[in-house]
Each structure stands twice: as C-alpha cells, then as structure tokens.
Amino acid sequence: MSVSTASKTDKDVQDRVEKELRWARQVDDAANIGVAVHDGVVTLTGEVKSFAQKVAAGKAALRTWGVTAIANDIEIIYPGHPKTDAEIAENARNVLRLNANIPDGAVKVEVRHGVATLTGAVDWNYVRLEAKRAVQNLVGVKGVANQITLTPRVSGLDTEKMIKAALMRNASVDANSIHVNVIGNKVVLHGTVGSYAEKKQAGYAAWSSPHVSEVDNQIVIRTH
C-alpha cells in the first residue's frame, strides 16, 4: 500500500470514529474528544466529565470498522468539588453490596488518587466484569484496576470442542478463521478476524465455559 493510500485509509477511519463518538449515547462530551489514526491504531485525546465516558469512548472507537487498537489518552475532569478517595471507596463498597450479581464480601475496594483497585475471587468472569462496570460509573473515579481472580475450577476434557462449537453457532464470528488451544483451565485464541467486535465475541465464547479461568485472546484484526 502506498503512503497516500494509507493516509486516505487512516483519514476514513478517523472520520468513522468521530461519527461513532457523536452517535454513542454514553459519550456526552464527544465534541471535546480528539481522534488521530495511524495504520489503524487510534489515539483518543481531550477531556470528558467521567471515567464511564472515557470507557464508552474507547469502546465506540474499537467497534468502528478499520480500527485495530486504541490508545485512550482522554483526561477526566470532574465538575464541582472533587470526591476524596475515602468517599469514592465508601460509594464503591455500597454499590457492590447492592448489586445482586456480586456475592457479599467477595470483592474488596481500595482507592488511591481516584483509581479504584478491585481484589477478591468470584466464580464467573461476568461477575468480575459487573464489578468493574459498577465502580467505573461512580463520580470521582478516574480509573479501575480489576485484579479480581476466578476461583480454581476442574479442567474439562471437552472444553476445546465445546468452545469451537459455540464459535460455530455464533453468527457474528467466522469460526473457521479462529484456532482454539486449551491448556488446563487456560484458553488461547489465535487467528484473524475482520473487526474488534468479532474478536470480542470469540473471547465471550471462550469465557462461557465453566472450566475456563483464563483467556489469552491473541486474535489479530485484519485492516484490508
């Protein structure tokens, strides 16, 4: 590909990302977000009023056609009086306690300089993700380090076969382009797909197995 063609492609991706940011209902401050693209890698800059918006902007960029990766350098500027770490931690504990999907006492929270670190152990990956989503929406949060682990589980003899079958059933995934390797409780995904959304769906399929405690998603997104 020539330099001029690559530049045109990057400009097209930039235009699509900017439109997707304006379309995303969770991103109220889209006008304040800058988008730069180089070889399919998007860099987001600017300012938003919450960590949830920063996360939503990153997801909007990743689901845009032609994007292979992002660097989310958006800054969070909360309006009004800033929350203290103690206030954020207390609010985080409350929101986790009230969430019916998260077992009582399973997740601990520590907040430092606005960044919440989650620790503990749960049975399912969706619970780990639910805990992160609950905390990232709180006022004052500038980042979430999700260090929650999954409880050890017995390896399944047919795990690889079941994951491949799940991929074949998924209309959003080209299962023939994805290779699954199971090592104990760990799943490694290889292959090439056309979008981040497809890569993400493959990861969801792997995580759905009750015998999996780790997924290494090495699927590559093709750009052309």
Q: Are 56 and 20 in contact (CB under 8 A)?
A: no
Beta strand 186-193 with 220-221: parallel, antiparallel or unpaired?
parallel
Domain of 177, in residue numbers: 159-221
Q: Are 50 and 28 in contact (CB under 8 A)?
A: no
CA distance 160 to 220: 20
* 8 and 68 belong to one structural domain: yes
Q: Hey, what are 218's tokens? A: 């090495």
pLDDT of the residue at 197: 87
Name the residue among 210, 217, 202 with its Cα closest to residue 124.
210
- Integer angstrom CA distances of residue 136 from 11, 40, 140, 146: 31, 27, 9, 10
* 164 and 193 belong to one structural domain: yes
Q: Hey, what are 37's tokens? A: 């693209």
* 58 and 7 belong to one structural domain: yes
pLDDT of the residue at 81: 85
Question: What CATH number does the domain containing 64 carry?
Answer: 3.30.1340
Please say which residue of 13, 47, 76 terminates a domain. 76
What is the model's pTM?
0.79
- Residue 205's Cβ-count burial label (10 Å; 0-12, 13-18, 19+) is buried
What dihedral angle (degrees, nearest 10) is formed by the CA atoms of 53, 201, 178, 14?
A: -30
Q: Are 102 and 75 in contact (CB under 8 A)?
A: no
Tell me how many domains the chain contains: 3
What does the DSSP 8-state code read for residue 100?
Answer: T
Please say which residue of 27, 44, 76 terminates a domain. 76
* Mean pLDDT, each 10-residue run in order, the chain (224 residues): 63 96 94 96 96 95 92 93 94 96 95 97 93 95 96 82 94 92 94 91 92 93 77
Please say which residue of 53, 76, 99 terminates a domain. 76
pLDDT of the residue at 157: 79
